[in-house]
Amino acid sequence: MSKYFNRRNIDFLLYEVFDVMSLGKYDYFKRQKKDTYDLIVDSAAQLAEKELRPYFVEMDRKEPQFEGGKVKVHPQVRNLMKEFGEGGWISADGSTEFGGQQLPLTLTSCTQFIFGAANYSASVFPFLSAGAARLLSKFGTDKLKSEYIPKLYSGEWQGTMAMTEPQAGSSLGDITTSADPLDDEGTVYKISGQKIYISAGDHDGVDNVVHLMLARIKGAPIGTKGLSLFVVPQKRYNEKGQPIDNNVVTSGIFHKMGYKGAPIVQLEFGGGEGCFGFLVGKPNHGLAHMFQMMNEARIAVGLSAASIASAAYYASLEYANERPQGRTLDNKEAVNPQSLIIEHADVKRMLLFQKSIVEGSQSLLMQCAYYADMAKAEKEASQEIFKLVLDLLTPVAKSFPSEMGIHSTSAAIQIFGGAGYCQDFPVEQYFREMRIHTIHEGTTGIHALDLLGRKIVMGGGIAFRAFTEEVTKVIKKSKLEITALSRYGTQLDDVLFRLQNITMKLSTQAMNEKKDVFLADATAYLELFGIVAIGWQWLMQANIAQKGLEANPEDKFYQSKLHTMRYYFEYELPKSEGLITRLNSSDHVTLEADSKTIL
């Protein structure tokens, strides 16, 4: 068995860094025990090894086909949906009220990480069903809940998130799929329109596909304020409770560079006979409702990116430990056997780089999951601050692992050399599967605008202040309590200070200058923010590892944590400098680039 994730690191994050057991003091999580949690992580690892990992390559090479109007996926999809359903993996973090297990997201982030590392494409099917069920449990009528949630949880039906249309990708306000009321209560609608790029939007691994879809009720306002959320199944029940066709027609499949195991499809709604959609939540509140699913999906995208990078890291680490090539400087003579490539400084650099990205990202994502759990568990008055920081961090936690994941999986290929470019090894597939993550669930550019244009300025900067307080806590701990790490505390403090200044400068611009100037370098700002956020997570991990090392000086895991943190502060954190220079410049290069003459 090749390693694709680090179990010890999961335990470290789960119990030492984020102390998931402390959630047990809240009513919402009160039934939880450490033994159960350990067992859940063990079971996830076994399930991944049995149902996901063996099909990783095959699902890429034999990609889904569109035949006779239906999408055929790898036969294993049906098995895995059954296993994930029966094992309770789809219902894991759902509320117990509707048959879920109410596990903390802090925990299920770990199991999702394992599934993504084992076989990203395969992990998407159950994940999407869980999201659809969660959305229904929150906003659906009792009838919808009882009809759909058990089937989604059991893995018999597939859930999806159906938003994108040919003319409406980043710009959801331009969605035109329409919903015509069919009853007086406003519950059933006739849907017509077209959706594209719908992940798992049709396949033969389940008995029904259930779309959680955005559409516009006839007469609704234009823009995002006129979008409503519907559940639109492939098959619906007629009055006699028999399943009948709901006129959702699959019109095509897209062939992708990677992430091939999961089909993304084009769907036509209501072309011939009537296609029924059932309203979920309040009319014209669809986007706000959908954001429930989208925000968790965004965290999940970051998590998947980090998990793929983890798998690539361990593949390249294994290779570096086995492949002899060249000689280190203390072994120069050609008569000597070659050195293992892991002994070359540049290979070590590429390994430490990957490790710093993988474990830094994973920690930030667990941090987000922890905030989400706290927001769920705490009493209303105390929830707000967790929600705010989570909202602020979501675009960062989605984008940093996705963007840096490209470089990280690329480094894995580089360690393999020519072999890494060939299909004999898995790293080229990781590189291809990674590339979707800066795009789906909102491109990096969209998240940058979300961070700077919305999250930073909201409530007069309250979320940003809360974030800096969180970071400062960790810095203080390093500076005051842990001598060995105080220099890193100082280093991060300095970059944080510069981020604060830039944030202040930009916020002032938002008020005084034209908004286009304020937002022009949002992506550079997001990148800088990500570097600081991951620095924060590394310092937090280092604080704990340093204490652990005091108790057990020979512990290799802690030693490695500290060394990787050191790498991050020496090689990655300095990348902030160029970004800071750029963000402090007043030369509006991009805005002034006339699209007709310059480009």
- Residue 593 near a copy of itself by CB under 8 A: yes
* Cα gap 562→542, rounded to integer Å: 5
Residue with tokens 């802690």: 558
Q: Name the segment binding a copy of itself (CB under 8 A); options: 93-101, 183-191, 350-358, 361-369.
A: 350-358
Candidate list 1, 335, 381, 511; residue touching a copy of itself; CB under 8 A: 335
Q: Nearest distance from residue 441's CB to a copy of itself, in Å?
A: 11
* Cα gap 314→432, rounded to integer Å: 17
Q: How far is CA 369 from CA 53, 129, 149, 301, 303, in A?
A: 25, 19, 23, 13, 10
Q: How far is CA 338 from CA 21, 317, 319, 416, 417, in A?
A: 48, 18, 15, 16, 16
Q: Nearest distance from residue 332's CB to a copy of itself, in Å?
A: 9
Cβ-in-10-Å burial (0-12, 13-18, 19+) of 67 comes to exposed
Candidate list 51, 428, 450, 527; residue touching a copy of itself; CB under 8 A: 428
Q: Nearest distance from residue 140's CB to a copy of itself, in Å?
A: 28
Q: Nearest distance from residue 243's CB to a copy of itself, in Å?
A: 32
Q: What does the block give as tokens for 179? A: 């919903």
Indicate the SS3 state at residue 347: helix
**42 or 58: CB nearest a copy of itself:** 58
HEC string of 293-353 equals HHHHHHHHHHHHHHHHHHHHHHHHHHHHHHCECCCCHHHCCCCCCCCEHHHCHHHHHHHHH
Site for a copy of itself in 161-180 (CB under 8 A): 164, 167, 169-171, 173-174
Q: What does the block give as tokens for 596? A: 């007709």
Rg (CA), the chain: 24
Strands (DSSP E) found in 270-345: 276-280
- Residue 351 near a copy of itself by CB under 8 A: yes
**100 or 258: CB nearest a copy of itself:** 258
Candidate list 263, 420, 426, 489; residue touching a copy of itself; CB under 8 A: 420
Give phi and psi for 336, each to the nearest 5.
-75, 155
Residues that contact a copy of itself, how many (by CB under 8 A): 103
* Cα gap 528→571, rounded to integer Å: 14
Candidate list 519, 534, 545, 549; residue touching a copy of itself; CB under 8 A: 519
Residue with tokens 């780089």: 353
Q: Nearest distance from residue 174's CB to a copy of itself, in Å?
A: 6
Q: Nearest distance from residue 122's CB to a copy of itself, in Å?
A: 18
Sorted by sequence, the CB contacts under 8 Å of residue 424 that are 6+ apart come out as none
* Cα gap 599→596, rounded to integer Å: 6
Task: For residue 360, count other CB atoms closer than 10 A to its CB.
Answer: 27
**184 or 592: CB nearest a copy of itself:** 592
Q: What does the block give as tokens for 550? A: 């005091």
Give phi and psi for 9, each to the nearest 5.
-65, -35
**35 or 424: CB nearest a copy of itself:** 424
CA-CA-CA-CA torsion sign (330, 336, 341, 346)? positive
Q: Name the segment binding a copy of itself (CB under 8 A); options: 46-54, 141-149, 349-357, 493-501.
A: 349-357
Instruction: Identify whether the C-beta of residue 502 lies closer than 8 Å to the C-beta of residue 581.
Output: no
Report the first-to-last Cα separation within the chain, whole angstroms.
51
* Cα gap 373→93, rounded to integer Å: 10
**145 or 435: CB nearest a copy of itself:** 435
Q: Nearest distance from residue 86's CB to a copy of itself, in Å?
A: 33
Site for a copy of itself in 273-332 (CB under 8 A): 317, 320-321, 324-330
Q: Nearest distance from residue 195's CB to a copy of itself, in Å?
A: 12
Taking residues 571 to 590 in sequence order and writing x for each that binds a copy of itself by CB under 8 A, - otherwise, the string is x--xxxxxx-xx--x-x-xx
Q: Nearest distance from residue 1's CB to a copy of itself, in Å?
A: 19
Site for a copy of itself in 435-464 (CB under 8 A): 435-436, 438-440, 443-445, 448-449
Site for a copy of itself in 105-164 (CB under 8 A): 164
Q: Nearest distance from residue 444's CB to a copy of itself, in Å?
A: 7
**What value, to the nearest 5°, has the Cα angle with vertex 295 and ends 290 and 301?**
120
Q: Name the DSSP class of 17.
A: I
Candidate list 69, 272, 418, 460; residue touching a copy of itself; CB under 8 A: 418
Q: Name the segment binding a copy of itself (CB under 8 A); options: 15-23, 293-301, 357-365, 411-419.
A: 411-419
Candidate list 21, 220, 288, 342; residue touching a copy of itself; CB under 8 A: 342
Q: Nearest distance from residue 572's CB to a copy of itself, in Å?
A: 9
Site for a copy of itself in 199-258 (CB under 8 A): 222-224, 254-258
Q: Nearest distance from residue 170's CB to a copy of itself, in Å?
A: 5
